[in-house]
Structure 1
Amino acid sequence: MKNIITTLLAIILIAFATEATAQSFEVIVNEANKTETISKKDLSEIFLKNKTKWDDGSSITPVDLKASSETRKAFSNEILERNVGAIRSYWQQAAFSGAGTAPVERSSEAEVITFVKNNPGAVGYISESTDASGVKVLTIN
């Protein structure tokens, strides 16, 4: 009986932890970008640099937060379906083989917002609680 209760408590805690990290970020683009919605698949392709052009043909420039960011951890887990360490390994292998380089990184959400404001093709992410003034927040479908 004790094992059943322990198992149930663990399941409940995992469910709450998953709920807490789900959608704890917003995807942002430059205000001039015509895009309004984006799929998780397209976001993953963009941040793995498999998709490099917006629908209008302009170049996409993804921007990541630093690896220790909780927002990056949530984004990587939910959108890329891999943890930050696995993504860093992916980019190390890509760089070593000459297949590509990782997205630019910024140290803070304010820096991500500034980067997106200054680069028309940029796409980044910030925590839901961060003020997104000056950039457009996309709907993820």
Structure 2
Amino acid sequence: MPSINYKDEIIKVILLKIAIIILLFSSPVYAINIISNITADTASLSVNELRRIYSMRQAHWKNGTPIVVYVLASKSPLHQKFCKEQLRLFPYQLDRIWNKLTFSGYGVAPIEVASESELIKAIKSTKGAIGYVENLSEAKDVNVIKVTE
């Protein structure tokens, strides 16, 4: 009859319990999704195109529709994540670009909304609008844009 090593079995049970606790109490991780109003009619954008749109250097979609940019507040964790992961810029760099355009009179800053749900509503109701969300479950009747290299 084989002998049972109780120390190994106890360690396995403890590790299993720790793993279950971590899974139960960790928050889900969502990817950032770029969404637009269905009038934008584009399936993908390169990182450079997305950066041009958010730095307000590209004003129209390929079909000629004016682009309306929506963002969350600069201090928002989602906005900061969007800047770093999608635009590959720091939020303060984007703020500087917008401030320079606004104060020089050569452009306007994007439209800031208070929450992700407000952003989704604005995207749905504004022709040519673009924005970003973390959770697509609320984002119905919008165009989801794939970001490519």
TM-score under structure 1 length normalisation: 0.76
Q: Which of 38-47 and 73-82 deviates more?
A: 73-82
* SS in structure 2 at match of 1:28: strand
1:123 counterpart residue number: 130
Match of 2:19 in 1: none
2:82 pairs with one of 75, 85, 98: 75
Unmatched tracts of structure 2, length 5 or more? 1-29
- Whether the 8 Å CA contact 1:41–1:79 is kept in 2: the answer is no
Residues 1:84 and 1:34: Cα distance change in structure 2 (over 3 Å) = same
Distance in 2 separating the partners of 1:86 and 1:79: 14
2:118 pairs with 107, 111, 114, which one?
A: 111
What is residue 42 of structure 1 aligned with on the other side? 49
> Which string of whole-angstrom CA distances, capped at 9 and with x for unpartnered residues, describes residues 99-141 of structure 1?
2221111110111111110112000001146522121211111
Percent identity reads 29
Task: Pick closer, same or farther for the CA change 1:38–1:97 going to 2, 3 Å.
Answer: same
Matched, 1:59 2:77: no
Structure 1: state its 5+ residue gaps.
Answer: 1-22
Report deviation, 1:77: 1.3
Aligned to 1:140, the other structure's residue is in SS state strand
Deviation at 1:33, TM superposition (A): 3.0
Aligned residues: 120
Residues 1:117 and 1:78: Cα distance change in structure 2 (over 3 Å) = same
Structure-2 separation of matches of 1:130 and 1:100: 33
Rg (Cα) greater in structure: 2
